[in-house]
Amino acid sequence: MRELSPVLVIGAGLVGASVAQALTRAGLRVHLQDRVPSHAQVAASRGAGTVDPPVAEKVRLVVVAVPPKALPKVIAEALTTYPKATVTDVGSVKGTVLAQLRSTELDLSRYVGSHPMAGSQRVGPLTATADLFVDRTWVVTPHDTSSAHAVLDVGEVADLCGARKVSMGAAHHDEAVAQVSHLPHLVSVLVAERLTEVPPEHLRLAGQGLRDVTRIAGSDPQLWSQIIEANGTAVLAELIALRTNLDALIAELDTESGVLATLERGREGTRALPGKHGLSAVEFAHVVVEIPDAPGALGRLFRDIEAAGVNIEDLRIEHDLDRERGWLSVQVAPERADDLTAVMTDSGWTVRDRDPQL
Amino acid sequence: MRELSPVLVIGAGLVGASVAQALTRAGLRVHLQDRVPSHAQVAASRGAGTVDPPVAEKVRLVVVAVPPKALPKVIAEALTTYPKATVTDVGSVKGTVLAQLRSTELDLSRYVGSHPMAGSQRVGPLTATADLFVDRTWVVTPHDTSSAHAVLDVGEVADLCGARKVSMGAAHHDEAVAQVSHLPHLVSVLVAERLTEVPPEHLRLAGQGLRDVTRIAGSDPQLWSQIIEANGTAVLAELIALRTNLDALIAELDTESGVLATLERGREGTRALPGKHGLSAVEFAHVVVEIPDAPGALGRLFRDIEAAGVNIEDLRIEHDLDRERGWLSVQVAPERADDLTAVMTDSGWTVRDRDPQL
């Protein structure tokens, strides 16, 4: 194992405090700093390290976990203040940070960016956990002048956090996240934005599809506006590509074959997305069981599902709009659906053989 | 109860066969027809009625459940062939059907459209169930010359199927579903379509957000191209409104305040959407527990959750991309999250206090 102690984590929000907890658990000595001292104290009280200041000359690793706009300045200060340390950050956008660092006179050989692909709608050190990154993708973004030593150090951080490392250049990373994260986020926002102009009674006709499309639009606007701004170039390219496709769809709207071709390309796209266990998504059968909305009901329900010996591939709870009632939609292998339905019916449950979607 | 027997259901797919099952269960005599006779036979064998032809003069109700493009012709034929019957259909779009019927010489007083808001990614009579519409919204769309008798008949069908009736004019309905269903569907398709142009290695960086946004893009392109074509005018208006908002977003992309305002309107839109039990969505705490991907594991897990006495508001299963492992994300009231975490940890489960999103 590489010698990374002592570590300094700057920024004790969800991601910073979680990295600090994971590194502390791995046996490293971790110091915590936050612009709001109480954040660092809360994180320290939850096993993320100490708020005692480190001896600057001794720090071997600095993890910068501050909001996107503050990254370049804090990284630059860290490179200066901690002359022996490898410095990394955990920001969602890498290119603009690197460009701003390059515009300084600093030697950047000790800097290597990274982006752990985990987060939460929640923020702050109280929500942190040493397990936040386990089995998540952690992108390491070395640049042209990153030293081997620094790259290996940052890879070790990802390993100690239990993540899966992927190495990419900054611009490559930013294009990829614009495609798979930032564009979908903005599109979700655009659909949700339209709902503010829709009469409330129309929303009675909304189904699960609309809920799914708009869910991520509920995330923190402050954080996301900084992410979008920092990745402006790649996001702009994606939005323009989307507009081109939208214009094409509008133009072909009166030709059924054109709409059909678009819908077919869309379905093809969903199949390109890795499903569970890295395989393509499989179509499972849905068995929908009515559940009382009370403690213990799901426990009894799953005991009976267990009696059926059927492997549950996925599940979802649906709720009735007006009544205190819910359904559990259980996805199972198609050939096991009848068995499960029979066992559940025999056990006195109301099984509704329908899909939660639409 | 109104006298609706004998009923004729034309089209024995998921929706038609489900209506037929529900009406048969309610004690009505139901006759089934399908362009593919074996579909009607399968539906009949599953309790949806009989394939014996009805006596035309005696039929009191015809439910037309054929694909969107075939609706006007089949409805018109039904009005002619069954001179005493109230005729309804279950299509997703109402205005174009009505306009085409008006262009005939037919007396339309016996026709009232309807749209039960339930469906499935699956198709065909084997997936039908008498419970498909229970507690779902069922839109009844009377027109200017619909007789009171016919309107009351169609309302009775919705009641017998256990649905919640909503009455709207055809154009009003079509605008509403363009907003809450067709636009979100096409936007999901546009995002999914982009994925076909994205290098597969970028998709490794995809999170739950992208999966949610693109899920409905996996639906049947044939069916949806007919729906979109039939509602072309309202869908076009929505797409143009979306393009206006997209253009505004592109224009303001280099101003953080503009992006922030859009993100805030998006979050406001998600809050306008009714949550469970008709209330606004509440932010729940997430408790994430590792589960072995094997029969019975969830049963044991829920027994232990039951021991905690904590009401489960919602849940979701996440799967690891590479390993045969999953997590159950349990949403509970924020003040109960610590209790649940403590009980689960005491019971030997690995609790990961993180959100499944991002």
Structure tokens at B206: 């995809």
Which of A62-71, B46-55, B335-344 has the lowest average pLDDT?
Answer: B335-344
Task: Look at residue B323 and tell me whether its pLDDT is greater than 60.
Answer: no
Do the chains contact at A119 and B355, CB–CB below 8 Å?
A: yes
A2 falls within a domain: no
Strand ranges in A243-337 using DSSP code E only, listed in sequence order: 285-292, 314-319, 325-332
Task: Look at residue A309 and tell me whether its pLDDT is greater than 80.
Answer: no
Task: Look at residue A356 and tell me whether its pLDDT is greater than 50.
Answer: no
Band (A170; pLDDT cuts 50, 70, 90)? very high
Q: Is residue A162 located within the same domain as residue A177?
A: no
CA-based nearest residue to A129, from B292, B304, B355, B319: B355
DSSP 3-state percent helix, strand, coil across chain B (nearest 5): 50, 15, 35
Band (A249; pLDDT cuts 50, 70, 90)? very high
CA separation for the pair B283, B268 (Å, rounded):
14
Task: Look at residue A358 and tell me whether its pLDDT is greater than 50.
Answer: no
CA separation for the pair B34, B314 (Å, rounded):
40
Residues A283-308 pLDDT 10s: 677 788 887 666 667 777 777 776 77
Domain stops at, among B168, B198, B215 = B168
CA separation for the pair A97, A162 (Å, rounded):
25
**pLDDT more than 70, % of chain A:** 86
Domain extent at residue A326:
285-352
Question: What pLDDT, on the 0 to 100 scale, is given for residue A220?
Answer: 86
Residue tagged 């994606």 (tokens): A238
Q: Is residue A160 located within the same domain as residue A178?
A: no
Q: What is the ipTM of this complex?
A: 0.74
Question: What pLDDT, on the 0 to 100 scale, is given for residue B125?
Answer: 64
Q: Give the number of domains in chain A.
A: 3
Task: Look at residue A192 and tell me whether its pLDDT is greater than 90.
Answer: yes
Chain B residues whose CB is inside 8 A of the A117 CB are: 205, 207, 358
Contacts of B68 by beta carbon, 8 Å cutoff, 6+ apart? B91, B92, B93, B97, B223, B226, B227, B229, B230
Local structure of A195: helix, strand or coil = helix
Q: Which segments of A5-94 does DSSP mark as H helices, in order?
A: 14-25, 37-43, 71-81
Q: Is residue B328 located within the same domain as residue B224?
A: no
How many A/B residue pairs have CB atoms within 8 Å?
469
Q: Is residue A335 located within the same domain as residue A255?
A: no
In which element (H, E) is residue A304 found?
Answer: helix A297-308
Question: What pLDDT, on the 0 to 100 scale, is given for residue B209?
Answer: 85
In which element (H, E) is residue A96 found?
Answer: helix A95-102
**pLDDT more than 90, % of chain A:** 57
B279 falls within a domain: no
Residue scoring higher pLDDT (A309 or A281): A309
Question: What pLDDT, on the 0 to 100 scale, is given for residue B42?
Answer: 84
Question: What pLDDT, on the 0 to 100 scale, is given for residue B23?
Answer: 97
Which residues of B, range 51-110, sit inside 8 Å of A by Cβ? none
Question: What pLDDT, on the 0 to 100 scale, is given for residue A37?
Answer: 86
Q: Is residue A210 located within the same domain as residue A105?
A: no
DSSP 3-state percent helix, strand, coil across chain A (nearest 5): 50, 15, 35
Region class of B306: left (phi > 0), else alpha (psi between -120 and 50), else beta? alpha
| CATH number of the domain where residue B323 is located | 3.30.70.260
Asked if the bond preceding B6 is cis, omega within 30° of 0, the reply is yes
CB A172 within 8 A of CB A142: no
Question: What pLDDT, on the 0 to 100 scale, is given for residue B281?
Answer: 43
Which of A219-233, B200-214, B272-286 has the lowest average pLDDT?
Answer: B272-286
Task: Look at residue A320 and tell me whether its pLDDT is greater than 60.
Answer: no
Band (A147; pLDDT cuts 50, 70, 90)? very high
Nearest CA in chain B to A122: B355
Question: What pLDDT, on the 0 to 100 scale, is given for residue A211?
Answer: 87
Quick check: B292 contacting A, CB < 8 Å? no
Do the chains contact at A127 and B353, CB–CB below 8 Å?
A: yes
CA-based nearest residue to A64, from A22, A4, A122, A13: A13
Q: CA A216, A222, A227: angle at the middle one, nearest 5?
A: 75
Task: Look at residue A73 and tell me whether its pLDDT is greater than 90.
Answer: yes
| CATH number of the domain where residue B116 is located | 3.40.50.720
Rounded (10°) CA dihedral B112, B146, B74, A262: -60
B277 falls within a domain: no
Interface-testing mutation among A263, A288, A301, A339, with chain B (most B C-beta atoms within 10 A): A263
Do the chains contact at B303 and A301, CB–CB below 8 Å?
A: no
CA separation for the pair B128, B17 (Å, rounded):
6
Question: What pLDDT, on the 0 to 100 scale, is given for residue B275?
Answer: 60
Structure tokens at A170: 């900054």
Residue tagged 């294009």 (tokens): A175
CA-based nearest residue to A175, from B210, B321, B198: B198
Q: Is residue B161 located within the same domain as residue B197?
A: no
| CATH number of the domain where residue A261 is located | 1.10.3660.10
Q: Is residue B156 located within the same domain as residue B112?
A: yes
Band (A2; pLDDT cuts 50, 70, 90)? confident
Q: Is residue B182 located within the same domain as residue B164?
A: no
Question: What pLDDT, on the 0 to 100 scale, is given for residue B300?
Answer: 75
Band (A121; pLDDT cuts 50, 70, 90)? very low
Interface-testing mutation among B270, B298, B328, B340, with chain A (most A C-beta atoms within 10 A): B270
Task: Look at residue A319 and tell me whether its pLDDT is greater than 60.
Answer: no
Strand ranges in chain A using DSSP code E only, listed in sequence order: 7-10, 30-33, 61-64, 86-89, 113-116, 137-141, 164-167, 285-292, 314-319, 325-332, 351-352
Residues A203-235 pLDDT 10s: 989 877 898 899 899 888 988 999 999 999 999
Round the CA-based radius of gyration of chain A to a whole number and report it.
Answer: 24
Q: Is residue A110 located within the same domain as residue A155?
A: yes
The string over B178-215, giving b where at least 16 C-beta atoms fall within 10 Å of a residue's C-beta and e elsewhere, is: bbbbbbbbbbbbbbbbbbeebeeebbbbbbbbbbbbbb
A67 falls within a domain: yes
CA separation for the pair B60, B55 (Å, rounded):
10
Question: What pLDDT, on the 0 to 100 scale, is given for residue A243?
Answer: 97
Q: Is residue A141 located within the same domain as residue A19?
A: yes
Residue tagged 């213990």 (tokens): A296
Local structure of A350: helix, strand or coil = coil
Q: Is B83 exposed, middle or buried (0-12, 13-18, 19+ CB in 10 A)?
A: exposed
Question: What pLDDT, on the 0 to 100 scale, is given for residue B123?
Answer: 53
How far CA A100 is from CA of A90, A91, A226, in Å, comes to: 16, 14, 15
Band (A277; pLDDT cuts 50, 70, 90)? very low
